[in-house]
Amino acid sequence: MMKLAIIGYGYWGPNLTRNFHNTPDCQVKWVLDLSEKQRLRVRSTYPNIHTTDRIEDVIHDHEVDAVVIATPVYTHFDLASRALKAGKHVLLEKPMTSTKDEAVALIELARKHDRVLMVDHTYLYTPAVQRMKQYVDEGLLGHIRYVDSTRINLGLFQTDVNVLWDLAPHDISICRHLLGERPISVQAVGVSHTENNLENIAFLTLFYPENRIAHFNCSWISPVKIRQMLVGGDEKMLVFNDLETTEKLRIYDKGYSVLPESDRDRILVDYRTGDIMIPKIPQFEALAELAKDFRDAVLHGKEPVSDYLSGLEVVEILEAADQSIKQKGREILL
């Protein structure tokens, strides 16, 4: 049995609480939130969960095995450090921290205290991404040449982070998961239409070895909502449309082969276009899977899917993207 404290009961906290509440061998003992109104909401829904607004209540409770931190990013480092030092396992909301240095410091703390440190990249646990990962691992798509993702809508302007820190962690963590490779460099541009100069439209590019490329289009001011990722392999190509309810993935038997020099007259490549397959994918809640993964990491030492290296890479890339945006798109080596 793992006893947990959830820190932060704002937008995502209720989902975390509900899922850990329903996970076997897990007990949510505490929910911490600074707002009395939110604490009241917790108690009326879960009469057995304790609430508090003091981090000490959680840190000093020896029964608490693990804390789940779903507060604004700039608070992550302080809260997670204190928890790790107190011997608690930690699950951090994405993005992991505000800077790469903070992420590295947390990782060192976790290693030193031999605690689990995990980051909530929920998307990695969705049925669609799991199926994509399976296709990639089986070689169905062949060698992946590019990823092109569009994640735009009329979204809430954040006041502490720009649109990339808000939306791109999903795409970056999925790319890492699928490609199993670290980008060489990062490049980004964006604009802000508010006085705080936080970008509300931004375009991020990751360069990989062998001319692989990933490009993410993120916006809070699009009239239409789009959640679409193209994954282009040299065998097949895949489209992941997360707004579809039952047809999230489409596999296209479509592609081209570069012709050998001798065969070329005026055409360079040979095209192939065939059937499209829309696989039936099971439906389950990704966050429930993540909760189980964290539990198994804590109780049984299992290696989690959404590990701290994934969290670190996301922060590294976002930090580099900020630098690149300031320099109007200059490439930043990782």
Residues of this chain that bind a copy of itself (CB under 8 A): 145-146, 148, 150, 152, 154, 156-157, 159, 185, 187, 189-196, 201, 203, 205, 207, 211-213, 215, 217, 219, 221-224, 230, 232, 237-239, 247, 250, 252-256, 258, 261, 266-269, 271, 273-280, 324, 327-331
- Taking CA atoms, 171 is separated from 12, 17, 151, 195, 257, in Å, by 19, 25, 9, 27, 27
| Cβ at position 319, least distance to a copy of itself in Å | 17
- Ramachandran category for residue 211: left, alpha or beta (phi over 0 → left; psi -120 to 50 → alpha): left
> Which CB, 60 or 256, lies closer to a copy of itself?
256
| Cβ at position 230, least distance to a copy of itself in Å | 6
Element (H, E) at 300: helix 286-300
| Cβ at position 51, least distance to a copy of itself in Å | 19
> Which CB, 81 or 241, lies closer to a copy of itself?
241
- Taking CA atoms, 140 is separated from 16, 234, 236, 237, in Å, by 34, 10, 7, 9
Of 129, 166, 147, the C-alpha closest to 321 is: 166
Of 107, 84, 17, 8, the C-alpha closest to 291 is: 17
| Cβ at position 112, least distance to a copy of itself in Å | 36
> Which CB, 300 or 328, lies closer to a copy of itself?
328
> Which CB, 179 or 230, lies closer to a copy of itself?
230
Q: What angle do CA 294, 299, 301 make, to 5 degrees?
A: 80
| Cβ at position 115, least distance to a copy of itself in Å | 33
| Cβ at position 195, least distance to a copy of itself in Å | 7
> Which CB, 1 or 333, lies closer to a copy of itself?
333
> Which CB, 8 or 311, lies closer to a copy of itself?
8
d(CA 290, CA 213) in angstroms, rounded, equals 28
Tokens coding 96:
């992991």
